């Protein structure tokens, strides 16, 4: 019994099924997407078709930097859970304990984090190429 | 069952896809093909198509090859790492990099709107089911009005200003460049540069009603000098035979209420401008060869050639009057 408890404590990575942890990365992606597109739409509507896109490109660049930094923070915290999970080979995918749920959701969140990073980079690419509003 | 005679079967099965391929590929040439480019953009689209075809063929072979090898058990001693490398490498890194490269490659094909602001503008207004066309060179005050045929200079970027009167149309000259929607209430702009003189065919590429399939136009690409002479010629009135009997019937039958002929009647603007119709290659927006016989057929009953067309039938007119109008129109150039 004691051994079992000790093992539980050793492999403890955290608890809870906090959904915010899962959707934090996609939320950063959504906000970045909105900032880029809304900024470009408002700027081009006010400045006209032939306006230089430089201000929008700067906004997109800054938003992308902040978004990727945020994703990196999320990624690191999730990677720690994965690191702890990999220490022991007792991780049971079929398990139904708060610990197992926590690890599983962290794994899902980690995948979403990678997906969000790719999506943010793709959304930012056009700002590298486009020069005028048109 | 004990027959020892060897069975010989000759299968023509494999020949079928080859024959079908031949038929399909024959559609890749001609005056309306994105794979037989005669314009700067069409060349880029064609190149993109071949690069992507080669790319997807390689990826297809790799994926199926891997699946086949796995099925046949050709992977000896797979380590614990193998699945992870395949999933992360083949499922995440590889598609991300390939799609990223394609995205940048595609974005770089966008036209550069910044350079050369003074260029020839051609305003094309889509209507069910024909094209109103107006040319405006940089130094030109009055636009040259035409319809259902577009003339372009080779080697010069031309700006198309696209609008629509009724529903969404899409302006597409496959041999010269990509297509762009014409949206009611909005103006869209397309930059095209034809490279090879010749005659091509453009179409409406967005379903726009009953006669959508019959909404096309001829595109004539000239050498620049020839084009300037053509445009100059179009700024003057056509040769109208004053004693042409067709002219009188045209006016008395009410044709002028909808159609304009420069120097004769400038009221009508409902239907296509007929100023130089005699020099156009087609009638009815690219659906029939421009001959007096076809013109007469069209005037008699347009809906028979183009279902649901707005122009009414003139069956009530005597056939000789219709023939006279057709001859009169054929001489307008």
- A86: its two tokens: 């990999």
Any bridge partners for residue B32, and if so which?
none
DSSP code of residue A43? H
Q: What value does the CA radius of gyration of chain B take, rounded to a whole number of Å?
A: 27
The residue of chain A with its CA nearest to that of B104 is A125
Fold of the CATH domain B121-223: Immunoglobulin-like (2.60.40)
Q: Give the right CATH number for B245-330 from 3.30.1180.10, 2.60.40.420, 1.10.1200.120, 3.30.1120.130.
A: 2.60.40.420
Least Cα distance to B222 among B135, B292, B289, B285 occurs for B135
- Residue-wise pLDDT for B182-223, tens only, equals 999 999 999 999 999 999 999 999 999 999 999 999 999 999
The residue of chain B with its CA nearest to that of A133 is B113
Task: Please check the confidence at residue A15 and state whether its pLDDT lies above 70.
Answer: no
Q: Are B264 and B240 in contact (CB under 8 A)?
A: yes
- In which region does residue B219 sit, left (phi positive, over 0), alpha (psi from -120 to 50) or beta (all else)? beta
pLDDT of residue B57: 95
- Residue-wise pLDDT for B11-57, tens only, equals 555 566 666 666 666 666 778 888 889 999 999 999 989 988 998 99
**Which own/partner contact pairs does B132-136 have at CB distance under 8 Å and 24+ positions apart?**
B132/B165, B132/B272, B132/B273, B135/B231, B135/B234
CA pair distance A123, A114, nearest whole angstrom? 14
CA pair distance B18, B36, nearest whole angstrom? 21
- Residue-wise pLDDT for B133-163, tens only, equals 999 988 888 899 999 999 999 999 999 999 9
3-state class of A47 per DSSP?
helix
Q: Are B176 and B219 in contact (CB under 8 A)?
A: yes
CA pair distance A7, B59, nearest whole angstrom? 46
CA pair distance B27, B205, nearest whole angstrom? 17
Residues 45-64 of A with CB under 8 A from B: 50
Contacts of A61 (CB under 8 A, 6+ apart): A124, A127
Task: Please check the confidence at residue A106 and state whether its pLDDT lies above 60.
Answer: yes
Chain B residues near any Cβ of chain A (below 8 Å) = 92, 96, 99-100, 103-104, 107-108, 110, 112-114, 189
Characterize the bridge pairing of strands B121-127 and B130-136: antiparallel
Give the predicted TM-score (pTM) of the model. 0.79
pLDDT of residue A12: 58
In angstroms, what CA-CA distances link A96 with A14, A93, B241?
15, 8, 94
Domain map (residue ranges) of chain B: 33-108, 121-223, 245-330
Q: Which residues of A touch B107 (CB under 8 A)?
A: 125-126, 128-130
């Amino acid at each position: 019994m004691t051994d079992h408890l000790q093992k539980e404590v050793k492999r403890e990575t955290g608890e809870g099924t906090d959904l915010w942890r899962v959707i934090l990365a996609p939320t950063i992606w959504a906000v970045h997407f909105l900032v880029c597109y809304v900024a470009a739409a408002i700027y081009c509507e006010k400045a006209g078709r032939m306006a230089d896109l430089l201000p929008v490109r700067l906004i997109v660049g800054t938003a992308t930097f902040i978004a990727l930094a945020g994703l990196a923070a999320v990624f690191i915290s999730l990677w720690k859970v994965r690191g702890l999970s990999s220490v022991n080979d007792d991780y049971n995918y079929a398990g139904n304990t708060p610990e197992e749920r926590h690890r599983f959701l962290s794994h899902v969140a980690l995948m979403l984090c990678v997906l969000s990073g790719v999506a943010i980079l793709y959304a930012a690419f056009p700002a590298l190429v486009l020069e005028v509003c048109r | 069952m004990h027959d020892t005679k060897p069975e010989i079967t000759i299968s023509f099965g494999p020949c079928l896809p080859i024959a079908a391929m031949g038929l399909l590929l024959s559609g890749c040439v001609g005056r309306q093909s994105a794979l037989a480019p005669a314009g700067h953009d069409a060349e880029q689209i064609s190149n993109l198509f071949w690069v992507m075809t080669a790319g997807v063929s390689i990826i297809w072979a790799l994926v199926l090859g891997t699946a086949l090898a796995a099925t046949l058990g050709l992977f000896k001693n797979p380590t614990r790492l193998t699945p992870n490398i395949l999933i992360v490498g083949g499922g995440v890194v590889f598609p991300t990099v390939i799609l990223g490269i394609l995205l940048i490659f595609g974005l770089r094909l966008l036209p550069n709107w910044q350079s050369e602001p003074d260029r020839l503008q051609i305003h094309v207004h889509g209507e069910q089911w024909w094209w109103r066309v107006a040319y405006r060179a940089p130094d030109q005050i009055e636009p040259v009005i035409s319809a259902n045929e577009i003339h372009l200079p080779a080697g010069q970027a031309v700006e198309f200003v696209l609008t629509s009167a009724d529903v969404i149309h899409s302006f597409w000259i496959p041999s010269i460049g990509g297509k762009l929607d014409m949206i009611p209430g909005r103006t869209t702009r397309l930059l095209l540069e034809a490279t090879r003189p010749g005659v091509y065919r453009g179409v409406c590429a967005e379903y726009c009603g009953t006669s959508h399939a019959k909404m096309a136009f001829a595109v004539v690409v000239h050498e620049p000098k020839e084009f300037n002479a053509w445009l100059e010629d179009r700024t003057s009135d056509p040769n109208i035979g004053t004693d042409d009997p067709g002219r009188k019937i045209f006016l008395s039958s009410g044709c002028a209420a909808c159609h304009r002929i420069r120097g004769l009647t400038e009221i009508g603007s409902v239907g296509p401008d007929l100023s130089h119709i005699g020099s156009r290659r087609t009638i009815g927006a690219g659906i029939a060869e421009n001959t007096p016989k076809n013109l007469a057929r069209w005037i008699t009953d347009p809906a028979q050639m183009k279902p649901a067309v707005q122009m009414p039938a003139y069956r009530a007119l005597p056939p000789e009057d219709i023939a006279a109008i057709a001859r009169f129109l054929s001489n307008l150039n």
